[in-house]
Every structure is written in structure tokens, then in C-alpha cells.
Amino acid sequence: MTVITKPFSFARALTCSKCGESYPLHALNTFATCCEKPLVVSYNYSNAFHKKLLPGRQLNMWRYSEMLPVTKEKNIVSLGEGMTPIFTLQKMADRYGYADLVMKDESGNPTGSFKARGLSMAISKAKEFGVTRCIIPTAGNAGGAMAAYCAKAGIECTVVMPRHTPTIFKQECDLYGAELILIDGLINDCGKKVAALNADGSYFDVSTLKEPYRIEGKKTMGYEIAEQLNWQLPDVIIYPAGGGTGLIGIWKAFKEMQEMGWIEGPLPKMIAVQSTMCAPILHALKDNVNWKNNFTPQATLANGLAVPYPFGMDMMLQVINESAGTAIAISEEEIVDGVKEIARTEGLLISPEGGATWKALLHLTATNFIQPADKVLLLNTGTGYKYLDNI
Ligand SMILES: Cc1ncc(COP(=O)(O)O)c(C=O)c1O
């Protein structure tokens, strides 16, 4: 008798996000060398994974394991990431006249941000492939998350971070046993240091979108939004974008769920929120050829938004254009104001990146891009407690 067991993952291939060339699924991969663009994981869509199977599964992001790239359950490195709550912001909605305003709050994730999702996935894949050393350039949260997951997996961890990042982001790396290297500059300067240290290829470079796995963790936010809202997606999602893995990942989840017949109807408009100190997406939306020449990036108190030259820019522009969304930049003063207003009104101490999404909503309502009757979801990507120095 042949016993047929359901595969743990339905991952089918890795493909270049630009030209579609295939790369081996069963080898640790970085980016698509054919076009120098990110690689993405594609899946076999199968009736064997139906949304009806979800109730009763574990309350974390691994409930969607069939649509994730880890092939063996024993390789999962988990600290309980995902299945974060969606709160109705009723008092804010009443005050400003919104019919349906919710916030997905990622602050309860391990290490206090949504970065836990991507790093849990990437470090699980690293474990699956027997990696012994990982390295990452970070604006703060990703470094802490990687340090924690590497500690759990028993993998050596090197984090390269801007020197101006608030102290707590450095302390957590140290406490999790990572090697921490501080750089004068922004995350792109940290990226150069990582490339130099990894010139001999002795590390797994976990830089944003320079490997295909972090995005697969981030995409679980999209699955959760659909499941938690009873498969009725919002009209608009407002997301604070830096490197863009969340924006791209959430959209990827929506496309996958459409293919599987889990959701119907129009997809949300995807709004990328940036800081006026560093807003490359706004520049690239105006001129996607020369955008790099036309702006001077600066540090922002919303550290995660200071990503001057995102490797996944083309993919972010595609999501924004395909979803009929837009990008908007918020000033430092408004970001702080947004954090304080949400704290005082709703009892949630959110990250500055999350605070920016609230101000973005107000601006986009004033210009009629968003209607008060729209169903709006704000994404708070992290806890405000790590930014008290900044705020
Ligand atoms: C709290 C927070 N929000 C948003 C971002 C930007 O995320 P992404 O790179 O996925 O666009 C970051 C990145 O560091 C972050 O830490």
C-alpha cells in the first residue's frame, strides 16, 4: 500500500521578479543574478489547502504553512510571531467621521515589530539549509529580530546598524548574543559594509529582498487581514514603507488568495507612507528612471522609513500602480503628533512608522483620495516603547 502524505509546503519554484527565470528551490538562494532583482517563491495552488482548514490551527503565522517555503516542520524557528490583533479605532473614527477604521497592530510580535515574521522565515530557511552565519544591515527592528531568531536557532549573527539608532535597538542585539557593528550613515551605508564583510560569501546575507524568504513571512499579514476580517478586504491599506517587504508581501498574499478562490472582489488600494526626510518612493513615482539623482536622504525618527535606495523599488511601484494606490510623505512633527494622538485616544503606544499612517489618512481624505465611507486599515508595524528616545 502506498501512503500519500500531504507536503508541508506547496512551494514550487523560485523565480526572478523581473523576467521570470527559475532558480533552484532546494538550495539557499539570494537574489536573481540574471536581472539583479529580487527572487520570489511561487506555489502549486491546490484544493488540498482550503481556508476551511484554518480554524483550530496554531494561532501564529505558521497556520498558513502550505503557502510558506519551509519544507519540514522541524526546521521552523518560531517565537510565536503573527496572528496579531486588528483593533477598531472607534474613538478616532467618531472624532474624524470615518465609517470603518481599523488598525492591525504588529507591536505584540516577538522583539516588538512585524520584522519578526520575515526573520522567523529567513532563519528557518537558514536552518533548513544548514547555514552557520547570518549578516544583516538594519534600520533597527530587523536587526533585533534576526538576533533573537539566530539565538534560538544557534546560528551566528552579525548586525550592521546606523550609529544614531536609539540605544534599545543596540542593547537587544547585544543581549541576544549578536555581533553589532555601528556605521555613520543610513541603512544603505550599512548595506555597503555588509557587502564588504561578505565579499567571500561566508555569510547568508539577509538584506531586504536580497533573499526570497523574508517577504514570505511578511506576506502572512495579508493572509491574516483577510481571515480576521472574514474574507472581506478593506478598501484601503495604509502601510509605512521602507524597503517594502510588507507592502509587496501583503499584495502577494492577496494575489495568492485570489488564485486559490479564497477572496473575491476588488483588492485594496495600497498606500505607501514615507517620511519627508527620506521619500524615495514619491520620487520614483514621478520619475522611475532618474529618481536616485533627485533627492538627498536624511535620517528620520521613524527609523524604519529611512531606506534611501530600496532594492525592491520596482516591485513596490508595481503594487502601488496595480492597486491604484499612491505614496505620501509625512513630516517629523506630524509623525510624533500622530503617535501621541493615538496613544491618548485609543490607548495604543504605536511606532512612529505607525503614527505616520494615521496622518497619511488625514491628508488623503482632505484631497479626496480616500472617502470617509471607505473601509480603511492602518498598519502599525511596531511598538512605540522602543522609540521613547526619539519621540
Ligand atoms: C517599525 C517599522 N515600520 C516599517 C518599516 C519598513 O518596513 P519595510 O522595509 O518592510 O518597508 C520598518 C523597517 O525597518 C520598521 O522597523
**Percent with pLDDT over 70 in the chain:** 98
pLDDT in tens, 166-180: 999 999 999 999 999
Confidence of residue 134 (pLDDT cuts 50, 70, 90): very high
The 10s digit of each residue's pLDDT in 188-233 is 999 999 999 999 999 999 999 999 999 999 999 999 999 999 999 9
Instruction: For residue range 10-27, list pLDDT tens digits in order.
Output: 999 999 999 999 999 988
Rounded Cα distance, 127 and 153, in Å = 7
Grade residue 294 by pLDDT with cuts at 50, 70 and 90: confident
Distance 381 CA to ligand 1 centre (A): 7
Residue whose CA is at the smallest distance from ligand 1 atom 13: 304
The pLDDT value recorded for residue 48 is 85
What does residue 352 show for φ and ψ, rounded to 5 degrees? -60, -35
Instruction: Describe the chain by its helix, strand, coil percentages, rounded to 5.
Output: 40, 20, 40
* Separation between Cα atoms, residue 274 and residue 353, nearest integer Å: 8
Instruction: Check pocket membership of 274 for ligand 1, CB cut-off 6 A.
Output: no
Q: Distance of alpha carbon 357 from its chain centroid, rounded?
A: 15
CATH of span 81-391: 3.40.50.1100
Task: Write down the pLDDT at residue 5.
Answer: 55
User: CA 4, CA 77: separation in Å to the nearest integer?
Assistant: 26
Cα–Cα distance for residue pair 118/249, rounded to 1 Å: 10
Q: Is the pLDDT of residue 3 over 70?
A: no
Cell of 348: 495604543
> Residue 186 and residue 119: Cα distance in Å, rounded?
21
pTM of the model: 0.97
Q: Is 304 in the pocket of ligand 1 (CB under 6 A)?
A: yes
Q: What angle do CA 251, 256, 261 make, to 5 degrees?
A: 125
Give the count of beta carbons closer than 10 Å to the beta carbon of residue 217. Answer: 31
Q: Is 355 in the pocket of ligand 1 (CB under 6 A)?
A: no
Distance 50 CA to ligand 1 centre (A): 30
Look up residue 286 and give its three cell numbers.
514621478
* pLDDT over 60 (residue 4): no
C-beta of 110 in contact with ligand 1 (< 6 A): no
Phi, psi angle pair for 244, to nearest 5°: 95, 5
Q: Determine whether the shortest distance from the Cβ of 352 to ligand 1 is under 6 A.
A: no
pLDDT attached to residue 6: 63
The DSSP secondary structure of 191-251, one letter per residue, reads HHHHHHHTTT--SEE--TTSSSSHHHHHTHHHHHHHHHTTT---SEEEEE-SS-HHHHHHH
Evaluate if residue 142 carries a pLDDT over 70: yes
Residues in CB range of 303: below 8 A, 6 or more apart = 139, 140, 141, 162, 165, 166, 169, 352, 387, 390
CA of 311 to the centre of ligand 1 (A): 14
